[in-house]
Amino acid sequence: MPVPFLDTPRPHAFAHRGGAAHAPENSWTAFEHAVKLGYAYLETDARATSDGRLMAFHDRTLDRVTDGSGAIGSRTYREVSALRVAGSEPIPLIEDLLGAWPGVRFNIDLKDEPGIALLGGVLRRTGAWDRVCVTSFSGSRLRSARGLFGRPVCMATSPAVIAAIYGAGPPGRRRQPGLLARRLAGWQVRCAQVPARVASASFVRRAHALGLDVHVWTINERAEMNRLLGLGADGIMTDDIETLREILIGRGQWHPREP
């Protein structure tokens, strides 16, 4: 039985960082554009300020996309809120994004340790448990999040599980796929989110056998979108949200969010 986050028709279209091909990444303008196009799933990143506010921001440092510099984690919320992405866009709070569109689902990449407890607080205040999926490149952050949240929330696999699926797993796991599937389900781990080089036909097949959806990132080429959809990918994450929407409409697989 699917978790609420995944209970819409597949394939799922994710606006990566809001759809960074059309507006500054992780900006209000980007997210608003995706929502207007009908996107039901938005992808973003979560980083903590020094005084405990959770921001939608990808990089460890501010230098690449803002008019500031240094680590975002060393700045207060007041300092960060005064900065601008691409010279014009304020950095949103995760809590404000969740509150702005109650019918939209968010894939949230936990980028640092302080953000774990902060995200738990945000989800408690907003009641958004069923419309988020938590992911991270750190298996330890995912384990910590499961312990701190205190209730089930959809999660993506750790890098170690992805590596096991990609390599068909160690011998014990190959003989007992049901055991791994039950463990993953018990942890509410329902997604394998991977780059295109990992998402082979065999990987998709193995992930599906474990009860996992396969979401592929970050796909911006039309031919690659079609190829992955043809392999049975359950979701595509893209910066080019207009092209992905056009392709899915053409395939009869566009499932816009309900108004």
- In CATH, what number is assigned to the domain containing residue 201? 3.20.20.190
Give the model confidence (pLDDT) of 21-52 as tens digits. Answer: 999 999 999 999 999 999 999 999 999 999 99
Domain-embedded: residue 209: yes
Q: Answer left, alpha or beta for residue 70, where phi above 0 means left and psi between -120 and 50 means alpha.
A: left
The pLDDT, as a whole number, for residue 2 is 73
Q: Say what the pLDDT of residue 180 is.
A: 86
Region 156-181: mean pLDDT is: 75
pLDDT for the residue numbered 214: 98
Number of structural domains (the chain) is 1
Is 242 part of a structural domain of the chain?
A: yes
* Span 66-92, pLDDT tens digits: 999 999 999 999 999 999 999 999 999
Residue 186's pLDDT is 87
**21 belongs to a structural domain:** yes
Is residue 170's pLDDT more than 60? Answer: no
Which pLDDT belongs to residue 187? 87
pLDDT mean over 122-151: 96
pLDDT band at 171 (very low <50, low <70, confident <90, very high): very low
Two tokens at 107? 């894939």
CA gap 209, 125 in Å, rounded: 36
For 196-245, the pLDDT digits (tens) are 999 999 999 999 999 999 999 999 999 999 999 999 999 999 999 999 99
Arithmetic mean of pLDDT over the chain = 94
Q: Are 69 and 54 in contact (CB under 8 A)?
A: no
For residue 28, the SS3 value is: helix
Mean pLDDT check: name the lowest of 33-37, 117-121, 174-178.
Answer: 174-178
> Does residue 60 sit within a domain?
no
DSSP state for residue 200 in the 8-state scheme = -
Residue 174 has pLDDT above 70, yes or no: no
Catalytic positions, please?
Answer: 16, 58
Residue 75 lies in a domain: no
Q: Write phi, then psi, for 194 (nearest 5 degrees).
A: -140, 160
Give the Cα separation of 50 and 75 in Å (integer).
Answer: 5
Task: Average the pLDDT over 102-123 and give the result.
Answer: 97
Give the model's pLDDT for residue 176.
61
Backbone angles phi, psi at 110, to 5 degrees: -75, 115
pLDDT of residue 259: 66
Task: Note whether residue 165 is domain-resident.
Answer: yes
Higher pLDDT, 33 or 1: 33
Does residue 109 register a pLDDT over 90? Answer: yes
User: Considering only CA atoms, which of 252, 259, 203, 229 is closest in space to residue 36?
Assistant: 259
Range of the domain at 189: 4-43+91-250
Q: What pTM did the predictor assign?
A: 0.94
For tokens 């999926």, the residue is 133
Note whether residue 70 is domain-resident. Answer: no
At residue 173, the pLDDT reads: 46
- As a whole number, mean pLDDT of residues 105-119 equals 98
Q: Is residue 185 part of a domain?
A: yes
Determine the 3-state secondary structure of 29 from DSSP.
Answer: helix
- As a dihedral over the C-alpha atoms of residue 68, residue 74, residue 80, residue 86, rounded to 10 degrees, the angle is 30
How many Å is the Cα radius of gyration of the chain? 18
